[in-house]
Structure formats: structure tokens, C-alpha cells
Amino acid sequence: MTSLLFSSIGKKLIISLSGLFLLIFLALHLLLNLTALIGPDHYENVCSFMDTNPLVKVMVPVLALGFIIHILFASYFEFKNWAARPRAMSYAVPTTTKGVSWASKNMFVLGVIVIGFLLMHFCHFWAKMQLQGFLGREEANAYELVVNLFSKWYYCVIYIVWICAIYFHVLHGFWSAFQSIGLSNANWLPRLQLFAKIYAAVIFIGYVSIPVCFLLGWHK
Amino acid sequence: MKFTLKVWRQKNAKAKGRFETYKIDGISPDTSFLEMLDILNNNLIVEGKEPVAFDHDCREGICGMCSLYINGRAHGPDDEITTCQLHMRKFKDGDTITIEPWRSAAFPVVKDLVVNRNAFDQILQAGGFISVGGVVPDANTIPIPKKDADESMDAASCIGCGACVATCKNGSAMLFVAARVSSLAKLPQGRAEAARRAQAMVAKMDELGFGACSNTQACEAECPKGVTIAHIARLNREFLFAKLEN
Amino acid sequence: MTETKLQSKIPSGPLSEKWTRHKAEIKVVSPANKRKLDIIVVGTGLGGASAAASLGELGYNVKVFCISDSPRRAHSIAAQGGINAAKNYQNDNDSVYRLFYDTIKGGDFRAREANVYRLAEVSNAIIDKCVALGVPFAREYGGLLANRSFGGAQVSRTFYARGQTGQQLLLGAYSALNRQIAAGTVKSYNRREMLDLVIIDGKARGIIVRNLETGEIERYGAHAVVLATGGYGNTYFLSTNAMNSNASAIMQCYHKGAFFANPCFVQIHPTCIPVHGKQQSKLTLMSESLRNDGKIWVPKKLEDVEKLRKKQIKPSQIPEEDRDYYLERRYPAFGNLVPRDVASRAAKERCDAGYGVNETGLAVFLDFAEPIKRLGKKVIADRYGNLFQMYEKITDVNPYEEPMQIYPAIHYTMGGLWVDYNLMTTIPGLYAIGEANFSDHGGNRLGASALMQGLADGYYILPVTIGDYLSHEIQTPKIDVNHPAFKESEDRVRERVKKIFKIQGKQPVDVLHKKLGNIMWEYCGMARNEQGLKKAIGLIDELKKEFWTDVLVPGVNEDFNQELEKALRLADYLEVGRLIALDALTRNESCGGHFREEMQTEEGEAKRDDENYMYVSAWEYRENKEPELHKEPLNYETIKVSTRNYKT
């Protein structure tokens, strides 16, 4: 098993599986967020459901573990790759190869950006909501938090930048995960890449629609 | 045609390299890139300077000996081509051309533009073969669907030049390893050892300091023989199944 | 002239039983003794790689040397079209006998009957072996192996892997070699060039090599030495051979007493991309398989030729009735699939008559318009896609739309070191296999036969015959590289290198090599005559002086020095070149690739002289004297020698 985990392909397997897991989380989270557009009551209902549902309680640490594994393995992976092509060995003329997507070359940087904003997100929401509940204190009103934050244009900009980083990360990560697990071939690769585009677009439009709606006052 | 050449010069593996600039004139557009370097070298020799060392052999795009990173691309500015098949008509008169060796931790420079690709041999020695000897069955005993044979041949087209490693931002040899594993995995003769082969070759690749694949697709874009990353997917599959069996 | 030194050791008995009988009669070495015996194999092409792998598998200690950075780069890799075998999978009445007869007839009856028959006999096992090793040969939809036709044959017996058959066969042999390297029976030495053969007590016992990366001169000893270093085509400077393919190893052995056989038999391949200018470094072959579907022609009218040269019209605009399909016209039975020597001379004849279709007047068309119309573009792309792509990359012309331009070029050398039936040269313990020997192709090699011979020698013949010699060596201890013979050889090598650096003349190696190439192509090319050959010998002698007084080699020995490599090789090419001319001069007949203008029929066909020249010429080196010619008569016991006829 260790020989699998520490092989180059094994590391990718872990990154891919945890990545796919996080993709599912991303979609679920979006669904919950979108209820905010329907109205405060729905949103509050969903929030309290999430607070009380035992399955969610179980899944929170699993989710955290998913993040940690994804981040740790990706960092280790990137570190090994730097060693294979040290900075001293970079080309004088930057590579001009066609057909290489920008996202694919910058997954690590994108990941770091995502984590950075994620921490901020934690401070703004998670720390004031779930964490408080966990500590037995009274939680902040979720809907109010949302209205508050998204009424500030600069916060919306930051949020949209974050979602952009997620968009690019998913755009490559989605099909790349299937490729790394071996679930791809000449026929399926273009299809997977198309699905990746659709999925990333749905995630992007979905998440971005919330601050945009709040900013423009289109929510109920 | 007239060109300004910026060529990487490095005395040996340990020495520090640097670029030298040379001017060259009177090149016919029908001249191949390596013939242009031949002319440069003859000029340098007559001027009493040391000629540029570069690897080359068949000059028809099949031996995989020639390398060169030209203006930011492995094998220069054309698709599905080796440097020896590149002709000067692909450049504009007066262009500045930067020529670098393959750069990767697993391919140390021998001299100037020549690198050591011995790591590729080692990977193949780890398992890139079918262990048969002595007397074997008649060639037509096992029918092989044309599609499988063709796919095997697609992968077997790899010439082992190292452009995939050179162009990969991770210095990964996955396309090279995948080409061999996939070619043999598609044939019934190769199945008997498929699991062992995939594990042994990947272990050797990791050991020799190549990076891992992050699916940028740069390798297939620069592969002179058009080997695709679909073969990498097959390698991943072969490897993971083999590991799961253990 | 003596023949005593040439013992061909052909076994007695009926032709079809000779090899079987021979195998039964010769000695074998026990596994325990094999482990004690060392064998050096020089070269890793089809012959060398397959031999080294097979010998390793048998249990010998093998050391294998190649000049490239990996055994896989050997020039066998560039063979395109295919490999022959008498499988008769197509049920078109092929047989071992037919393959044998086609090959010996294709060679214009200048090869040994017994050798060629053995080659045809083992051809089938080669295909089995390659398939087992994972060579992805082309297949039919039913899953069975596909075949194509090749020049000089009326059956379909050529197995192929797209236009990369040589590559795939070499990768197969290389993988077998890798397996032995991993098992520890073979040790591989890359970027090493052989610079001398070491002989102790009359037997080949080792080699001196130069490490091409560091310049170190190294010694290696063994109980037997196998040369698989290919041919000497690069003597002509422009050839389809790889830039590093060279004749030095065989010439070192020639200088040490191995006889050089039939040097004048050089193959000029009809379908190569024409020379584009003075800066050209090598020529590119377009596979003979293209003649399966492609049709060769030149315009019938000289005014069309003029217009083509001025680029006023495109070849596709010339109407059918104004085209001269000269091969179909002259050789109706074989048409575009006549053997290589015949096709080359026919192209030269048309170009000499002024019908050459490019600016230099040295090109004919190879046209695919008709087959594309008949079979569709996809089928043609499937068969020749990579060749078409290669052509377009080099010439910037799309062969799907306009015909290819082709012209003959030096491609293969049938001559090589003289070997007996066991593939041993006149030096005991020194073997030569593949293109490095002379044994199977006579005056002309048929397409798809080189791959067959390389693998036959390496997989099936040498591993058996070498046992006979080594069975007498089991008492010989490991060869000590401190023996004075090694020192003497090494000193001589160092002396030669020093001598070259001392010259510091004015001309780079390439300049001198081009001069040699021009002499060779002009006087020892597709057509030769007495006067020209004599002139060539004189010119080569002068050029040799020029080389040894005016060559300019920069740098030092103790470095990666490609100019030094080239200079050492050119010194040997000068010797081979002279030998080619000398052999051509003494062979006053037209035969296979050797065409003497004095010896032709009224129609311009080759005139062979069986009465006076039915022999293998074997040249013995003599210091400061002209080499001595030995003759091995060719006795045909089974077949009736006839005039080659590809017309009816």
C-alpha cells in the first residue's frame, strides 16, 4: 500500500479521488447557497437542517479530511515535480507549446488562491456559524451575514475572484481526475473535457449569481 | 537567408553553461535545421573556434537521436516533427533563433546541446519487454483485432527522443513510459506480464528523478510521433489495477 | 591467385537439408561452460541487438557496444517497408524455395546457394519470434497478419508495421536485449566506438574502443568478437544511411587480416528524395513499398519537361497520354515492382535522356493520383501516411495532390567482410553479421530482405554457429586485457589520433568527405567504366594525401569531440572508396548493382558474364602494397543460373 501511495501515479489517485469528492461538495454547497436567492426563510430552514442533521455532522470531519488530504498530497506532488525540473533548469525562452491550457499549468497556484480565500470564508461564515454552534454558543443569523457581506461591492469582487480561481481549478481538475484514475481513453477524453467545461461553468455561474443578485438587489 | 543564433554552450555536465551568439548567412530555405548547424560548425572550425556539439543520426525523423529546444519548443516550431525534419523555410529571414538543450533533472547535459538520456534505457530495462525465448508459437496462432494492433502500433511509434520530458513542466516521463506499457498491454502476448511491467517501469521512472504527470497535455502536443495522453490513461489504469491486485 | 584461404565450409547434402544437417553435426557448449565464455558484440542494429540478446539468453557473457546514446538508435530503425518471410499466409503459392529463388535471382546469381536457402528457411521463425516479442505488425480485420508486395517478387510475402517496420523490429530486438541486460547476462556500453581489433595468437580476442563522451581509450577482451556494424554506404557522403553509420569497424578488421568481399556491390535505391542543393547532408529514402501502388513516370514530351522545370505547369496537369510510364513500358511482367537496381538504372536512363523533371534534371515522378482515385485517400493514408507526411515536411509538396519526385541514391551495401557458412571471417573468432558481411544478397538486395537477414543472422544462425567455435575455447581463461597485444593495439590507436590532431590543416572533415562523395558518385555510382574507375583510384589517392596533410580537427581527444569521430571515420572511407573502385575495375561485367557501361545489351540491359565472373571477390589487405584478390567460385548445385528477366 505504501508503494502505491508514494508512487507518482498513486499520489495522483489520491489527489483525484479527494478532488472528485470536493467537486461533489462544491455542487451541494451551491445548491444550499442558491436557496438564499429564494428568500430568507428557505435559507434559514436549510441552515438549521444542516446544523441538526446527523449525517451532516458525520460528514463535516470527512470533508475536512478530504480538504487536508487533497492539499497535502498536491503539495507533496508539486514539490517532487519542482525537483524534477529545478528553477536552474528552466528554459531561457519560455515554452510556447500550443494546446496547453493555462489552468493545467497553474493548478497549484490556483489551489493556493482557493485556500487563501477559503480561510477568509471560514472567518466570515463558518467561524460565526457552525463553529459557534459547535462551541455551544449562539450562532449568527446566516441570512443576515450574507446580506451584510454581499452588500459591500469589494467583498463581492473578492468573492468573484475566488470563484474564478475555483472555476479554472475545476475546469482542469474535473477531467484530469478521471484521466489520472485511468477512466479515460481517446473517445472519452474529449467528452470528459466537455463535461469539465459544463460543470465548471455551472459552478461558476451558480456561485457568482448570488453576490451579483444581492448587489443588484434582485433577491427577495 | 540570414539568422542570428543564440546557442547554449556548456563544456561538460559540471560546467556552468551560457549562451553564445553567432551570425549565419547564405542559408537556403530548403536547408534542414541540422544542416544549418553543420554549416555553422564548419564556419566555426575554419575560424578556429570549437564547433557546437549536438546529437543527430538518421536525419529522417525516426532514430530519436536529435533533440534541441528551439525558440521555446521541443523540436522547433512545427507539429509532429523532429528537429532533423525541420527546415529553414519555417523561419523568417533575419530571425533570431534560440537553441537550448533538453532541460530536466533526469537528462544531465553532456556537452553543449547533447544530453544523457540513459534513464530511458533503464526504464525499459525494468520491464519494457515480453519475456519470451527459445521456440515460440506460429505468428498467426492468436488473431489480434486490427483495432488493437493499430492502437498498439500508435503507442509503439514512440522514438524515445525525450521531447515529452523536455517540454513537460514537471520533467515527467509519463508519455514515454505509457507508450511502451500501452503498446504491450494492447496485445495478447503482452498481457501475461502486464501487471508486473506497469509497476516495475513506473517505480523505475519515479526512482530516476522524473516528475509526475499533471495532465497539461504539453507532451502530446510536442511528441513528434503524435503519441497521445490516452496512453497515459491506460498506463494509469494498468498500474492502479496491478496495485489493487496486490 | 590462391583460394586456399577461403574455406566456405558449406555442408554437403541436398540444399534443403544442409542447415539441418549442419546444426546436427556442429558442437554445442554446455550451460556451465557458456557462463565462462565472453562474447563481444559491436553494433546494436537488428543483427547486433538480436545476436546479443540471443547469446545472453543462451547463457554466454555478452558485452554489447554501440556508438549512440542507446542501442535503440541503430540505423536499422529507419527501414520502412517490411520484412520478407515464406509463410504463404496469402496462399499465393509462396514457399521457402520460391523466396530462396527470388532472393538469389534478385541478387543476380552472385550469392551462395546454401546461405540464401538457409535465410529463406529461417525467415518464418523470425516472424513468429517478432510477434511473440510484441511487434505490432499490420493485421487484417479478421485479426490475422497482413502482407504487401515488394520489388522482385510476384507473391505477397512482406510483413510490415506501417512504414516503420525497421523501427518495430528493432524495438523488439532491443526489448529482448533489455531483458538480458536486466538479467545481467549482457552488459551494454553506449557511446563507444570500436577503433581496433585485438588479435592474440591469430584469434580475435578483444577490441579497443573510444568512449565518445570522455575520449578515454578502453580495452575489452572476449573469447569471440561479433561485428554487426552495418555497411559502408556513407563512403559516398550523400546516402540514405544515418550520419553516424560508418565503415570503420569493418575496415579495422580488414586491416587486421579479414577479407573484404564484393566491395563494388553497392545498392542504389530508386526511390529517394532528390538532392536539393550543395548544403545537403544526407538523403531520405521513400520506402520501396510505395511502388506497390505508386506509378513511376516522366513526361513523353521534352517541352513538358521544360515547362515543369520553369514551374509553368504542375505535373498533375500533364494528360495521361503524354506520360511515359517507363517501367511498365520496359518491364511489363513486373512493371513498377522491378528490383531496385533495374528501377534505378531505368530512372537514370530517362534523366540522362533529358526527361528529368526538376531544376537539376535528376528526378522522376512517383504518382499516387490513380490509386487514390481507385482506393480512396483513407486507404492510401493508412498504408503510407507517415511516408507522405515525411515527404511533405522535407519538400513542402503535398503528395496527395501532386506526385512525389524521386531519384536513386546510395542505400545499402551488399559487399562486406567475407564470412564462411558459420558467419566467421577469415580471422578465427571474428564473426560478421547483417549488412557488415557479404553473404546473402549477391549483386543486389531485394526489398524487405535486409531486415530478414539481420534478424536471421542474429536470432537464429550466429547463436548456433558460434557454439561450434567456442566449444574449442572452454579451456581458455578470461582474456587478460593487459596482454601486450592490447597495449600494442591501444598504442596504435593513440598514435593515429595524435597524428590527426597534429595536421591542423585548413579543411574541415565534411569538406573532404564531400569531395570523396563526389568522386564515388561520379565514377563508382550507377554506371561505371574502366577509364572512370582508374581515374577514381587516382583521385582517391590524391584525396588521401590531402586528408593526411590538410584536415582540420579542432579540440582534443579527451572530450566529446564529434569532429575527431568524423575524421577517424573519413580516414577509413578513403580506404573503402578505393577498394570499391578497385573491385569494380576488376569485375568487368554488369551484374546487380554493379553496372559496367562496357557490358550492356543493345537495349541497355545489364550483361552478366558467368563464365569469367561467377565468383565472390575477396580482398586481402597487404601493407604498402595493392590488396590481393582471392576468388571464391560460386557453385550452383540445385538451381539453373539464368539471365534475369523482368519483362515477361
Average pLDDT, rounded, for chain C: 95
As beta bridge partners, residue C206 has C198, C221
Could B59 and C277 be called an inter-chain contact, meaning their C-beta atoms sit closer than 8 Å?
no
Residue C327 within a domain: yes
Residue whose cell numbers read 497515459: B232
Residue C38 within a domain: no
Residue C113 within a domain: no
In Å, how far is A176's CA from the nearest CA of chain B?
Answer: 6
C-alpha angle C507/C509/C513, rounded to 5°? 110
Those residues of chain A whose CB sits closer than 8 Å to some CB in chain B are 3-4, 7-13, 77, 80-81, 83-86, 89-101, 104-105, 107, 172, 175-176, 179-186, 189
**Rounded to 5 degrees, what are φ and ψ at C596?**
-95, 125
Cell numbers at C545, concatenated: 594525401
Residue whose cell numbers read 520478407: C84
Q: Residue C10: its pLDDT value, please?
A: 96
A151-165 mean pLDDT: 93
One-letter amino acid at B180 equals R
Average pLDDT, rounded, for chain B: 96
Facing B202 at nearest CB: one of A7, A81, A186: A7
Q: Residue C278: its pLDDT value, please?
A: 83
The DSSP result for C387-410, as a single string, is HHHHHHHHHS--TTTS-EEEEEEE
In Å, how far is A178's CA from the nearest CA of chain B?
Answer: 8
Facing A97 at nearest CB: one of B221, B236, B241: B221
List alpha helices for chain B, DSSP H.
33-46, 118-125, 146-156, 163-167, 174-185, 188-191, 194-207, 218-222, 230-245
pLDDT tens, B111-170? 999 999 999 999 999 999 999 988 999 999 999 999 999 999 999 999 999 999 999 999
Facing C127 at nearest CB: one of B32, B121, B139: B139
Residue C641 within a domain: no
Q: How far apart are CA C436 and CA C453, in angstroms?
A: 11
> Residue C502: in which H helix or E strand, if any?
helix C484-503
Could C176 and B145 be called an inter-chain contact, meaning their C-beta atoms sit closer than 8 Å?
no
The DSSP result for C49-67, as a single string, is HHHHHHHHHHT-EEEEE-S
Question: Running along chain C, 648 residues long, what does each successive block of 10 average in pLDDT?
Answer: 76 96 96 97 98 98 97 96 95 97 95 98 98 97 94 90 94 98 98 98 98 97 98 96 97 98 96 89 89 94 95 94 95 91 93 93 95 93 86 92 95 97 98 97 94 98 98 97 98 97 97 97 95 98 98 97 98 98 97 95 91 97 96 95 83
Model confidence, pTM: 0.96
Could B187 and C134 be called an inter-chain contact, meaning their C-beta atoms sit closer than 8 Å?
yes
Could C134 and B184 be called an inter-chain contact, meaning their C-beta atoms sit closer than 8 Å?
yes
Could C394 and B126 be called an inter-chain contact, meaning their C-beta atoms sit closer than 8 Å?
no
Could B237 and A4 be called an inter-chain contact, meaning their C-beta atoms sit closer than 8 Å?
no
A104 vs B contacts (CB less than 8 Å): 214-217
C-alpha angle B201/B202/B206, rounded to 5°? 120
List domains and CATH numbers for chain B: 3-110 (3.10.20.30), 117-245 (1.10.1060.10)
Residue C540 within a domain: yes
Could B19 and A92 be called an inter-chain contact, meaning their C-beta atoms sit closer than 8 Å?
yes
- Name the residue among A133, A132, A157 with its Cα closest to residue A212: A157
In Å, how far is A168's CA from the nearest CA of chain B?
Answer: 13
The chain A residue lying nearest B19, using CA atoms, is A92
Q: Residue C644: its pLDDT value, please?
A: 81
pLDDT at A130 over 80: no
Facing C131 at nearest CB: one of B60, B63, B189: B189
Could B121 and C560 be called an inter-chain contact, meaning their C-beta atoms sit closer than 8 Å?
no
Q: How far apart are CA C525 and CA C237, in angstroms?
A: 12
pLDDT tens, B89-100? 999 999 999 999
Q: CB neighbours (10 Å) of residue A87?
A: 6
Give partners of A (≥3 CB pairs < 8 A).
Answer: B
Q: Residue C1: its pLDDT value, please?
A: 44
Paired sense of beta strands C628-633 and C295-299, if any: unpaired
Domain boundary among C409, C425, C440: C409
User: Among A7, A17, A89, A97, which would you mutate to test the B interface (most chain B Cβ atoms within 10 Å of its Cβ)?
Assistant: A97
Torsion sign across C-alpha atoms C357, C359, C360, C366: negative
Facing A89 at nearest CB: one of B104, B228, B243: B104
User: Among A1, A5, A8, A170, which would you mutate to test the B interface (most chain B Cβ atoms within 10 Å of its Cβ)?
Assistant: A8
Give partners of B (≥3 CB pairs < 8 A).
Answer: A, C
User: Among A78, A91, A109, which would you mutate to test the B interface (most chain B Cβ atoms within 10 Å of its Cβ)?
Assistant: A91
Q: How far is CA A71 from CA A15, A28, A110, A158, in A?
A: 8, 20, 12, 22
Could A189 and B230 be called an inter-chain contact, meaning their C-beta atoms sit closer than 8 Å?
yes
Interchain CB contacts (distance < 8 Å): A and B = 153
- Name the residue among C593, C581, C158 with its Cα closest to residue C412: C593
**From the CB coordinates, do chains B and C have 3 or more pairs under 8 Å?**
yes
Domain boundary among C389, C409, C429: C409
- Name the residue among C635, C620, C632 with its Cα closest to residue C582: C620
CATH number at residue C292: 3.90.700.10
C282 contacts B61 by C-beta, under 8 angstroms = no
Q: Residue B245: its pLDDT value, please?
A: 87
Maximal CA-CA distance, chain C: 76
C216 contacts C209 by C-beta, under 8 angstroms = no
**Rounded to 5 degrees, what are φ and ψ at B160?**
65, 35
Total domains present in chain C = 2
In Å, how far is C117's CA from the nearest CA of chain B?
Answer: 20
Could B61 and C393 be called an inter-chain contact, meaning their C-beta atoms sit closer than 8 Å?
yes
One-letter amino acid at C428 equals P
Could B169 and A181 be called an inter-chain contact, meaning their C-beta atoms sit closer than 8 Å?
no
First to last CA, chain C: 40
Q: How far apart are CA C605 and CA C511, in angstroms?
A: 36
**From the CB coordinates, do chains A and B have 3 or more pairs under 8 Å?**
yes
Q: How far apart are CA A67 and CA A96, in angstroms?
A: 34
Could B216 and A105 be called an inter-chain contact, meaning their C-beta atoms sit closer than 8 Å?
yes
Residue C391 within a domain: yes
The chain B residue lying nearest C137, using CA atoms, is B149
Facing C390 at nearest CB: one of B45, B53, B61: B61
Could A91 and B240 be called an inter-chain contact, meaning their C-beta atoms sit closer than 8 Å?
no
Domain that holds residue C402: 269-409
Residue whose cell numbers read 489551489: A111
Q: Residue C3: its pLDDT value, please?
A: 53
**Backbone torsion region of residue B6, taken as left when φ is above 0, otherwise alpha when ψ lies between -120 and 50, otherwise beta:** beta
- Interchain contact B142–A (C-beta under 8 A): no
**What 3-state DSSP class applies to B228?**
coil
In Å, how far is B63's CA from the nearest CA of chain C?
Answer: 5
Paired sense of beta strands C615-620 and C628-633, if any: antiparallel
- Residue C312 class from Cβ within 10 Å (0-12 exposed, 13-18 middle, 19+ buried)? exposed
- Interchain contact B230–A (C-beta under 8 A): yes
Q: How far apart are CA B84 and CA C71, in angstroms?
A: 20
- Interchain contact B71–A (C-beta under 8 A): yes
Q: Residue A57: its pLDDT value, please?
A: 86
Calculate the CA C572 to chain-centre distance: 17
**Residues of C known to be catalytic:** 340
Q: Residue C2: its pLDDT value, please?
A: 47
CATH number at residue C523: 1.20.58.100
Residue C561 within a domain: yes
Q: Residue C527: its pLDDT value, please?
A: 92
